[in-house]
Structure 1
């Protein structure tokens, strides 16, 4: 629209008359109001109605819609995850079987209670076989864990440097799991070396021990409550 046309349209609107239309309105008889007040009241009622609808109804619906959209996204992600697991189900089964096999192999490396004496003798023989002299070989009390027990053994042996190293290597190569901890080495007056360490071996608990351990744990948990 050209500037002249805009000015002409502005002149065509009689603002003074519109202002006069809003004066002296009778609220008891709106049917007799001029057009401008009627239009203004209609627009005001429309805006108030829309605002009230938003505040009392539409706002909650929008929040519910946003919540459902978030839930939809979560469900889609869960569906994608489950679908991926379903596609790789055979591979997961194979991995689980491999884990069970490896766990069984590790479990077989743990002696039971009846085999502990032979294992202790095997550790002792490993030192004697290397020409070492045992000053101390003292098994301690078992430390009970979830399904196995640790048996600490305080050892003190005398011998040459290479013999002590070979002994440690022999212990590491045993079919049963034995670890050497808290190792301390020092020389002696006769030129030999003295090795002090805490050897720890492991055994699995039998059914009776497992039941007793479980009962003790439950009793302890009850006392805490």
Structure 2
């Protein structure tokens, strides 16, 4: 039967003189210490790396699922984009060309006359490029505002506004102000009649050059 080994009584300098049980016991202890240290310095680091890789795997799986869903709806999105582009081009065709602007002003006069209104004034204001809120985007539509003043009764002005909405080209009435004339009980309409013109390729190119400069 092997005797208990007193490690404190062992002199490392005379270890080679010790018996086999002592030498094997010390060797076993050293191996255990090495394995424990190896676990903390090697395996614990590998476990942390493995946890990170598992987390990255879950993220990649989620990204893949999202991309797969987007790819499955790609045809639908393309169809929607084509529909939007078609609607946009249809709206562009409703915008007057530069040559049609004088005729459009004439149509406003005709709408006023037809409804018994007095067109007191039509004054053009400074043209403005339509702002989309994104300064990096090219503006392809220009707003052409006209300050108009009309005089008549309420029914005449209401019908005039309805007729403007039926014009062949897009015209909107903004900044509307109605004032009552106490002398003859008529109304004076002050408004901004906006029409919109599609910019030509040359105007869009000039706009791009201005942004670069």
Place the TM-score, normalised by the shorter chain, in its bin: 0.7 to 0.9
Residue pairs, 1:14-53, within 5 angstroms: 21-30=6-15, 32=18, 33=22, 39-53=28-42
Question: Once superposed, what is the RMSD of the aligned Cα atoms?
Answer: 2.5
The corresponding residue for 2:179 is 186
Gapped regions of structure 1 (runs ≥ 5): 1-16, 220-225
Higher share in helix: 1
How far apart are 1:131 and its partner, in Å?
Answer: 1.1
> Higher Cα Rg: structure 1 or 2?
1
Higher relative contact order (CA 8 A, sep 6+): 2
The count of residues paired between Structure 1 and Structure 2 equals: 198
1:154 equivalent to 2:147? Answer: yes
- Deviation, 1:130, is 1.0
Task: State the TM-score, normalizing by the size of structure 2.
Answer: 0.80
**TM-score, structure 1 length as denominator?**
0.76
What CA deviation, in whole Å up to 9, does each residue of 1:52-75 have, x standing for no partner?
224xxx51x445434443443343
Structure 1 residue 35: Cα displacement: 6.7
Query: Per the alignment, in what secondary structure is the counterpart of residue 116 of structure 2?
Result: coil
SS at match of 2:13: coil
Aligned pairs for 1:109-128 (under 5 A) are: 109-128=94-113
Picking from 160, 163, 188, the partner of 1:167 is 160
Contact kept, 8 Å, 1:21 with 1:36, in 2: the verdict is: no
Label 1:126 to 1:76 Cα distance change in 2 as closer, same or farther (>3 A): same
- CA drift of 1:108 comes to 1.2
Tell me the residue number matched to 2:135.
Answer: none
